[in-house]
């Protein structure tokens, strides 16, 4: 029982942190005087190291001891959370978030491996189900909790809640968890592969975020291209050179496994990328309090997780293809509905229908997608397959936030220029708007010191321009979901004799 509690609380830290921080970003911007690009880095710095190193974290546990690496990850995550809470400046916060991502990469794979070692047979299945259920609850609580803490106390409290959780995890793990390791695990660690993918993803994201500025300098484009080349070099190194690759390329010889991961990348790029921008629309443009913004997606989360068990049964009866196609089409419809609202209107007629439709889509694709990925490989490869699928989902979100942010910035700039021209502002007012464009890109009219006669018009222009950019991200997300539906429709996802059976791996809930 204590092993299970330690694993649940360890995962809860990372899941609550991931979902709560997004809702607190608009509040952070006011306090830290951050630009839209700086806010993206608060999320991207964490996700970058988690995405790039999560497979290494799993192999570290097998090689050096699962308990030891879980403890190390929990300690790093707890201390870096304290650093985030005390951050005096934005660069300090981004650096602390990067370290937090390293801790999460060690912590999250270990939570499942501790359960796998401590339980066997039917007890293992029940323990994993309990773990999955609690992590689902944490995913639902996170945005509401983050919004409430940011609204009632401070955005710093979002990070401080990890401190007591981390201390409990460290105490329980030291006292109640036995050490275990895989004696057959590779003796070497793929340092070169981890370095290539971290540098590649980092350069790609840095370049895309740099291109969001009004200048659109060629340096940002060059860095993004260099990042793409490094990612290509990583894939080549893993396939041809590495003796103990962190990314086992032979798994992708299975067409169902490749198709499932392509579907994952497209769908989670749309999902994670577009929903990053929603709190800014709800809080800065629509005027929602942070706690209400955090609660706005509860229908999506509740429907998705409560119906996932039912959709898992569909795979047994009709196979994975139809649920995956239906799920992606419903997700596309949900994203399209998010693009409809303007400024104002009741939540129940604007964002609620979109959240419900998107939740129904998630209910159709979550379990069948994971079942397909797991059934496509042998039982001995299930752990690494689950890790790869999870890393693909996180990498998709990492790239999509920067990529969709570029689309939002371009549309926002065009609309704001047009709206400002209509207002006939004084030259000093136009100069001030131009000077603060990097911050205005979040839909918030921060740091503008204009006369009331001009401020009202500029604020309205900023809000309508952000809505235009937000619509662009949602339309692109809908297109990504449609591409995922096409993949599911035309790709052969069937595994002879293994179409039924797998439950949703717990890591699925942490995406």
| pTM beyond 0.85, yes or no | yes
Among 139, 140, 136, 159, smallest CA distance to 149 is for: 159
184 C-beta neighbours (distance < 10 Å), count: 6
Q: Which tens digit of pLDDT belongs to each residue from 162-204?
A: 999 999 999 999 988 888 877 766 667 788 999 999 999 999 9
List the chain residues with pLDDT less than 50: 500-511
Among 57, 64, 55, 179, smallest CA distance to 110 is for: 57
HEC-encoded secondary structure of 456-500: HHHHHHHHHHHHHHHHHHHHHHHHHHHHHHHHHHHCCCCCCCCCC
- Which tokens sit at 213? 């500025």
Q: Name the CATH superfamily, with its identifier, for domain 1-189.
A: MFS general substrate transporter like domains (1.20.1250.20)
Helix (H, G, I), strand (E, B) or coil at 412: helix
Q: Is the distance from CB of 151 to CB of 291 less than 8 angstroms?
A: yes
In whole angstroms, what separates CA 433 from the centre of its chain? 32
Q: Which residues contact 262 (CB under 8 A, 6 or more apart)?
A: 487, 491
Query: How far apart, in whole angstroms, are the C-alpha atoms of residue 352 and residue 321?
Result: 28
Predicted pLDDT of residue 504: 40
The sign of the dihedral angle between the CA atoms of 31, 417, 285, 25 is negative
In the block, which residue shows the tokens 């070169």? Answer: 192
Predicted pLDDT of residue 151: 92
In the block, which residue shows the tokens 């004799």? Answer: 497
Among 287, 405, 414, 272, smallest CA distance to 341 is for: 287
Does the domain made of 250-401+476-505 have the CATH classification 1.10.10.10? no
């Amino acid at each position: 029982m204590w092993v299970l509690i330690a694993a649940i609380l360890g995962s809860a830290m990372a899941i609550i942190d991931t979902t709560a921080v997004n809702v607190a970003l608009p509040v952070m911007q006011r306090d830290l005087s951050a630009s839209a690009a700086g806010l993206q880095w608060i999320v991207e710095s964490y996700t970058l190291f988690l995405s790039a190193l999560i497979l290494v974290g799993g192999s570290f546990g097998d090689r050096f001891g699962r308990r030891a690496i879980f403890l190390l990850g929990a300690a790093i995550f707890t201390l870096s959370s304290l650093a985030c809470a005390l951050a005096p400046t934005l660069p300090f916060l981004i650096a602390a978030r990067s370290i937090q991502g390293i801790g999460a990469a060690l912590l999250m794979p270990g939570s499942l491996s501790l359960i796998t070692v401590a339980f066997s047979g039917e007890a293992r299945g029940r323990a994993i189900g309990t773990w999955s259920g609690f992590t689902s609850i944490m995913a639902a609580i996170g945005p509401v909790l983050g919004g409430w803490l940011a609204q009632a106390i401070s955005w710093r409290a979002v990070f401080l809640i990890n401190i007591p959780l981390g201390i409990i995890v460290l105490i329980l793990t030291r006292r109640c968890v036995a050490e275990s390791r895989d004696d057959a695990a590779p003796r070497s660690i793929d340092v070169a592969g981890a370095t290539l993918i971290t540098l590649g993803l980092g350069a790609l994201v840095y370049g895309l975020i740099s291109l969001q500025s009004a200048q659109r300098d060629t340096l940002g484009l060059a860095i993004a291209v260099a990042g793409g080349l490094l990612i290509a070099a990583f894939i080549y190194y893993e396939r041809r050179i590495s003796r103990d690759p962190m990314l086992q390329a032979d798994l992708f010889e299975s067409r169902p496994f490749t198709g499932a991961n392509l579907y994952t990348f497209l769908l989670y790029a749309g999902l994670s990328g577009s929903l990053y921008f929603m709190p800014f629309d709800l809080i800065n443009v629509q005027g929602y309090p942070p706690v209400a913004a955090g609660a706005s997606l509860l229908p999506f989360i509740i429907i998705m997780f409560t119906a996932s068990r039912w959709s898992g049964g569909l795979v047994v009866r009709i196979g994975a293809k139809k649920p995956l196609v239906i799920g992606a089409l419903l997700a596309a419809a949900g994203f399209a509905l998010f693009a409809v609202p303007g400024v104002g209107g009741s939540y129940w007629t604007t964002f609620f229908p979109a959240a419900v439709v998107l939740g129904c889509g998630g209910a159709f694709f979550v379990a069948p997608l994971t079942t397909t990925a797991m059934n496509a490989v042998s039982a001995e490869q299930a752990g690494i397959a689950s890790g790869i699928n999870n890393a693909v989902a996180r990498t998709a979100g990492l790239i999509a936030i920067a990529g969709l942010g570029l689309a939002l910035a371009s549309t926002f700039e065009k609309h704001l220029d047009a709206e400002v021209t209509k207002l006939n502002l004084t030259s000093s007012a136009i100069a001030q708007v131009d000077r603060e464009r990097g911050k205005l890109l979040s839909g918030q009219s921060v740091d503008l010191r204009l006369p009331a006669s001009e401020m009202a018009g500029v604020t309205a222009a900023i809000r309508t321009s952000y809505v235009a950019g937000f619509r662009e991200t949602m339309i692109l997300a809908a297109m990504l979901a449609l591409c995922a539906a096409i993949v599911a429709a035309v790709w052969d996802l069937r595994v002879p004799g293994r179409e039924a059976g797998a439950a949703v791996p717990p890591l699925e809930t942490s995406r």
